[in-house]
Amino acid sequence: MTVESLVAAVRFGLGPKPGELRAGRDRAALKADLAPQPAAPRPKGVPATGAIVAAIREATRRGRERDVVNFLKNDAKDILVAEVAARTRRAVETDRPFHERLVQHWSNHFTVSLAKPIAAPLLGAFEREAILPHVTGRFVDLLRAASLHPAMMIYLDQATSIGPNSRAGRRRDLGLNENLAREMLELHTLGVDGGYGQDDVVQLARILTGWTVDREGAGNAGRFMSVLHEPGDKRLLGQRIAEAGPDEAEAAFRMLAAHPSTARNVAARLARHFVADDPPPATVERLARVFRDTDGDLRAVSGALVDEEAIWRQPLSKVKTPNDLVQSIFRLIRTVPEGTLMIGALKILGQQPFSAPSPKGWSDRATDWITPDALLRRIEMAQKAAARLGRYADGAVLLDAGLGAGATADLAAAVRRAGDRTTSVALVLASAEFQRR
């Protein structure tokens, strides 16, 4: 049981299952996680995405608050709980944990959130349909799928953005909403210092007009309605994009995906997630170069992460987010929790699933997660989990399976000395080592 297998399991993976450390997964095993696989089937209790869109439309059609509240409290909530359960099951059971961590990373890069409640029933579908199939594919495909998924278009108001000079805009005095365009430039592609201006935000918003959710609820992807599209040529980042209806968005996606600022922004966020809160500039540059050289091939970029020596030299230097922590506990005790239990636990720890406070997503910095009160809650949860496991778990066994060579001698001694099994388990789960990855 080596330190290398711990790094593979916790930094790249989601925490070891029993036996995972002993199996000694290495760099080759991590790269094998990146091979393409067929997508998982739709979770039980979740209708097709088109049907969810139709249900949202029905709930909001008459503009009555009662209908919306009723929908959110019942159907939408049931769907969300089923999605959280399915996502947790994937995380707890997968034997390709590096792939699943990438899904979670990209899902955070392209954040959609319960902060817009009506999007709730689409958030799981977004991760399964727009993110998961593309995390080892080409960035431009990921960008397109994420931007045009109904969840994103509702979350960032694209669904109701209308070209002021489009046929619909002229008729009803409706207009542009810059929200998706701005966050696409600032967060998803170029980055805030990526070299765009307010005019590019407006131009991209004009380019995107027409893309909206399908009113009849057919299919999964967004739908282009020319009646909403702003006519005329546009100019993005100094380049002319000729009037071409739905193809304008495609031209913009390609331009943004190929832009060197995008390579740098994507590399910086990946490096922060996998390497360090403040990753070495050389690491970011290496990843950005792979991104540029391979035309945004995310399998190649992810493989390059595995080759980053800095990761292997500094085990346990990142702090687990609450989501990392809870998933790693359930993997270790081989239990798939109910969706409601997962939601409740993460709510208490400050990271309710699919509820990032802003389009920027959840923080990837230790100081944002380890505050006095947040730490107390982690300890409370460790104790509660230990109490629930009771006599079915033993701290010494969990220590060996969960931390292996990463446990300090002091922790091992305290676990051995613990007066009861519950305390021994709580000590492992609340330990400084187990709070890190």
Partner 1 sequence: MAERAQSLETDRRRLLAGAGGAALALGLGGRVALALVPGDRRLIVFVLRGALDGLSAVPPHGDRDYARVRGDLALAAPGRDGGMLDLDGFHGLHPALSPLMDLWRAGEMQILHATATPYRERSHFDAQNVLETGGDTPSGSADGWLNRAVALAGGSGLAGGLAVPLVLSGSAPVTTWAPQVMPLPDVTLLDQLAVLYGGDALLAPALEAARAATAVTGGGAMGMGKGAASLAPLVGGVARLMKAADGPRVATIDVQGFDTHTYQGTGNGRLARALAPLGAAIMQCRDELGAAVWGRTLVLAITEFGRTVAPNGTGGTDHGTAGVAFACGGALSAAKVHGQWPGLARDRLYQGRDLAPTTDLRALFMAVLTGHMGLPAAEVARRVFPEAAGLRPLDLILKA
**Region of 123-131, 178-186, 236-244, 330-338 interacting with partner 1 (CB under 8 A):** 178-186
Reduced to 3 states (helix: H, G, I; strand: E, B; else coil), residue 138 is: strand
Instruction: Answer yes or no whether residue 102 interacts with partner 1 by CB under 8 A.
Output: no
For the record, the structure tokens of 198 come out as: 């307010």
- CA end-to-end distance (rounded Å), the chain: 16
Question: How far apart are CB 327 and partner 1 at their closest, in Å?
Answer: 19
Instruction: Answer yes or no whether residue 123 interacts with partner 1 by CB under 8 A.
Output: no
Question: How far apart are CB 230 and partner 1 at their closest, in Å?
Answer: 11
Instruction: Answer yes or no whether residue 356 interacts with partner 1 by CB under 8 A.
Output: no
Write the DSSP assignment of 69-116 as a string of letters: HHHHHTHHHHHHHHHHHHHHHHHHH-S-HHHHHHHHHHHHHT---TTS
Of these, 165, 251, 414, 421, which contacts partner 1 (CB under 8 A)? Answer: 414
Of these, 310, 377, 394, 421, which contacts partner 1 (CB under 8 A)? Answer: 377
**Region of 66-74, 140-148, 380-388, 396-404 interacting with partner 1 (CB under 8 A):** 380-388
Q: Checking phi first, is residue 336 left (phi over 0); if not, alpha (psi -120 to 50) or beta?
A: beta
d(CA 391, CA 64): 52
Instruction: Answer yes or no whether residue 19 interacts with partner 1 by CB under 8 A.
Output: no
CB contact set of 133 (below 8 Å; sequence gap of 6+): 39, 145
**Region of 46-54, 233-241, 279-287, 378-386 interacting with partner 1 (CB under 8 A):** 378-386
Question: How far apart are CB 395 and partner 1 at their closest, in Å?
Answer: 12
The structure tokens 């080892």 sit at: 136
Beta bridge partners of 241: 234
Kindly tell me which of 294 and 317 has the beta carbon lying closer to partner 1: 317
Kindly tell me which of 37 and 340 has the beta carbon lying closer to partner 1: 340
d(CA 267, CA 289): 9
Binding mask 103-122 for partner 1 (x = CB under 8 A): ------------x-------
d(CA 172, CA 160): 13
Of these, 40, 282, 375, 405, which contacts partner 1 (CB under 8 A)? Answer: 375
Of these, 31, 138, 384, 421, which contacts partner 1 (CB under 8 A)? Answer: 384
Question: How far apart are CB 398 and partner 1 at their closest, in Å?
Answer: 15
Please say whether the beta carbons of 302 and 102 come within 8 A. yes
Please say whether the beta carbons of 49 and 125 come within 8 A. yes
**Region of 41-49, 91-99, 257-265, 427-435 interacting with partner 1 (CB under 8 A):** 427-435
Binding mask 192-231 for partner 1 (x = CB under 8 A): x-----x--x------------------------------
Question: How far apart are CB 36 and partner 1 at their closest, in Å?
Answer: 34
Kindly tell me which of 226 and 423 has the beta carbon lying closer to partner 1: 423
Question: How far apart are CB 376 and partner 1 at their closest, in Å?
Answer: 4
d(CA 256, CA 189): 6
d(CA 341, CA 336): 10
Count of residues binding partner 1 (CB under 8 A)?
53
Crossing angle, helix 322-332 and helix 339-348, to 10 degrees?
140
Kindly tell me which of 57 and 384 has the beta carbon lying closer to partner 1: 384
Instruction: Please list every residue from 272 through 331 that binds partner 1, using CB under 8 A.
Output: 319
d(CA 107, CA 31): 20
Kindly tell me which of 38 and 372 has the beta carbon lying closer to partner 1: 372
**CA distances to 145, 220, 300, 332, 396 from 329, in Å:** 32, 34, 30, 5, 15
d(CA 33, CA 50): 31
**Region of 70-78, 140-148, 262-270, 355-363 interacting with partner 1 (CB under 8 A):** 355-363
Instruction: Answer yes or no whether residue 136 interacts with partner 1 by CB under 8 A.
Output: no
Instruction: Answer yes or no whether residue 376 interacts with partner 1 by CB under 8 A.
Output: yes
The structure tokens 């001694």 sit at: 413
Question: How far apart are CB 384 and partner 1 at their closest, in Å?
Answer: 7
d(CA 250, CA 252): 5
Crossing angle, helix 372-389 and helix 421-430, to 10 degrees?
140
Question: How far apart are CB 197 and partner 1 at their closest, in Å?
Answer: 8
Question: How far apart are CB 426 and partner 1 at their closest, in Å?
Answer: 6
Helix %, strand %, coil % of the chain (to 5) = 60, 5, 35
Q: Summarize as ranges the residues that interact with partner 1 (CB under 8 A).
A: 115, 157, 160-162, 164, 169, 174-179, 182, 186, 192, 198, 201, 319, 347-348, 350, 355, 357-358, 360, 366-377, 379-380, 382-384, 410-411, 414, 423, 426-427, 430-432, 435
